[in-house]
Amino acid sequence: MKVTIKEIAKRSGVSRSTVSRVISNHPNVDEETRQKVKKVMEELNYRPSRLAQGLVKGKINVVGLIIGDIRNPFYSELTRAIEDILNAEGYMVVLCDSDYNPQKEELYLRTAEELGFAGVIMTSAMETKELLQTLQSLSCPVVLLNRYLRAFETDVVSFDNYNGGYIAAEHLIKLGHRRIAILAGPNNSTSSKDRLRGYSDALRDYGLEYKEEEVTYGDLRWATGYEFGLHLLRRQERPTAVFAGNDLMALGIIQAYLDNGLKVPDDLSVVGFDDIPAAYMGAVKLTTVRQPQYEMGVEAAKLMLERIKGIPHAPKRIIFDAKLVIRESTKPII
């Protein structure tokens, strides 16, 4: 049924090797022969099997992308960027939602190996022994996006999460806030931890006390922010500000307040993290730490491409700076 290289060879009166050469645009083919073969391929609507190519080459033009959850706009943007760059170079991207679950990541890495992926970009950020081990045994390049692994040296595109946390806290402090609640990201995520560390260092630098019991760890989803907002409303002593581990949760907190007749930033100042599109699409434009998602995705994809085709080189690290975008969700305390 399927037309193969053999068929093309027969019909154009040359050997399979020659056909293979025209497939891969090898220079050592007589122009006339090349045209003849191409014509036959056209007529028969021939498509070389990448599976077969992959088998002999040991690699396939596919790169895996591991992210936390595609429903988080932050990852959607990243994914889109990576896809744009990689597709343009003839690579496909295979998606994997890890749900921030190291086991899923590991399983996926294994599959990448089995399928002979050209590379894997990891955006999800957990750190376990098993994962590290799998990573070590991987035969394709890996680039880390917004995460780092002490025990695994590789190309990294990252963001200055520490400073991001710092300037977020600083902003709130300078606005006069003292009672600040924190809804951080998962505490097994390196980036979330860095943000929190920056945050607490800022408190210390400004002579404020950082209480471990003041921080709540969330799963980065909007609903979790909403729940947290509701929780704050039930408290006797409400904080005057809150620092959220990402925009989605920040937006959830704000909505909980609005839905209960309170005002933001009047009753609560909120600063988020990421600057997803939704941050400026709502009623209260969010003050947040901007991460250039698309650009970060682009850089990661480029690094991957370099690593796949290029000559070996020492691991590269690209770090994006944190920038606070001040909008309407924060205001000075009276």
Tell me whether residue 133 or residue 139 sits nearer to DNA (CB atom): 139
Report what 35 binds from DNA, a copy of itself, none; CB cut-off 5-8 Å by kind.
none
Containing 183, the helix (H) or strand (E) segment is strand 180-184
DSSP symbols for 82-108: HHHHHHHTT-EEEEEE-TT-HHHHHHH
CB atoms < 10 A from the CB of 111, how many?
14
The amino acid that residue 150 corresponds to is R
83 lines the binding site for a copy of itself (CB under 8 A): yes
Both tokens of 116, joined, read 């002979």
- Contacts of a copy of itself in 192-251 (CB under 8 A): 222, 251
Q: Report the 10 Å Cβ neighbour count for 6.
A: 10
The residue count for binding DNA (CB under 7 A) is: 31
216 belongs to the binding site for DNA (CB under 7 A): no
Q: Is 17 exposed, middle or buried (0-12, 13-18, 19+ CB in 10 A)?
A: exposed
Report in angstroms how near the CB of residue 55 gets to a copy of itself at its nearest: 5
- Torsions phi, psi for 270 (to 5 deg): -130, 130
Tokens of 286: 């969010």
Identify which range of 11-19, 71-79, 154-162, 232-240 contacts a copy of itself by CB under 8 A. 71-79
Q: Does 52 bind a copy of itself (CB under 8 A)?
A: yes
SS3 of residue 253 by DSSP:
helix
Distance CA 22, CA 216 (A): 61
Extract the tokens encoding 127. Answer: 């750190």
Question: Closest approach of Cβ 118 to a copy of itself, in Å?
Answer: 12
DSSP 280: G
Which window, 15-23, 42-50, 188-196, 207-215, contacts a copy of itself (CB under 8 A)? 42-50
- Alpha carbon separation from 116 to 47, 58, 59, 144 (Å, rounded): 20, 6, 5, 19
Residue with tokens 């991460």: 291
Per CB under 8 A, does 71 bind a copy of itself?
yes
Find the part of the chain contacting a copy of itself (CB under 8 A) among 17-25, 109-117, 164-172, 174-182.
Answer: 109-117
Q: What angle do CA 175, 180, 185 make, to 5 degrees?
A: 120
String marking each residue 48-67 x if it binds DNA according to CB under 7 A = xx--xx-xxxx---------
Q: Which does 111 bind (CB under 5 to 8 A by kind): DNA, a copy of itself, none?
A: a copy of itself
* Least separation in angstroms between CB 31 and DNA: 7
| Contact with a copy of itself (CB under 8 A) among 80, 174, 178, 263 | 80
Minimum gap (Å) between residue 129 Cβ and a copy of itself: 15
Q: Smallest gap, in angstroms, from Cβ of residue 247 to a copy of itself?
A: 12
Stretch of 25-33, 68-76, 232-240, 323-331 lying at the interface with DNA (CB under 7 A): 25-33
Residue count, binding to a copy of itself (CB under 8 A): 49
DSSP 210-262: --GGGEEE--S-HHHHHHHHHHHHH-SS--SEEEESSHHHHHHHHHHHHHTT-
Which of 16, 23, 34, 48 touches a copy of itself (CB under 8 A)? 48
Task: Provide the minimum distance between the beta carbon of 96 and DNA in the complex, in angstroms, as a whole number.
Answer: 22
What is the spatial order of strands in the sheet that 215-217 belongs to? 215-217, 180-184, 241-244, 269-274, 287-290, 323-325
Q: How near is the Cβ of 23 to DNA at its closest, in Å?
A: 4
Q: Which residues bind DNA (CB under 7 A)?
A: 2, 4-6, 13-21, 23-24, 27-30, 32-34, 47-49, 52-53, 55-58
